[in-house]
Amino acid sequence: MKKLVIIGLLVLGLMVALTGTASAAKETFSVVCSESGPVVLEIVETTNDNWSVARVVDNGTHFIPFAISGTVTMDGTVVETFSQTKNGHQNQEPKETCTFEQTFTEDGHTFVVEGQAEVIRRPK
């Protein structure tokens, strides 16, 4: 089940990378944010449970995550929930909330990962 959460986190950012190996492979995903609207983000996986910064593909704005939460369902049944908050960024501005949803199939099962991330927006 941890693998599913990792896949879900990479969908958002997946702004949090929980992988144990370094990788230069960039993941892209779509989110809808309270101020920026729908955007496509790009993230590079990191090591040691580091929180990764996501970059808006169209304009280079950086989103620095400080909280993420959501659920993973398999064939319509909730199989995992996740919630994580990082210390240190909550008092910075400007903040916005981004929501995400990703559906994928693995081993004949349909998974849906959905949730939200709280981020600090920084211009390019």
* 6-43: pLDDT as tens digits: 444 444 444 333 333 344 556 788 899 999 999 988 87
Give the integer Cα–Cα distance in Å for 24 and 85.
Answer: 25
- On average, the pLDDT of the chain sits at 77
Give the closest residue to 99 by CA, choosing from 5, 13, 31, 36. 31
Burial class of residue 95 in the structure, from the number of CB atoms within 10 Å of its CB (0-12 exposed, 13-18 middle, 19+ buried): middle
Query: pTM of the prediction?
Result: 0.72
Cβ distance 11 to 98 under 8 Å?
no
* 66-124: pLDDT as tens digits: 889 999 999 999 999 999 888 766 677 888 999 999 899 999 999 999 999 999 888 87
Domain ranges of the chain: 2-122
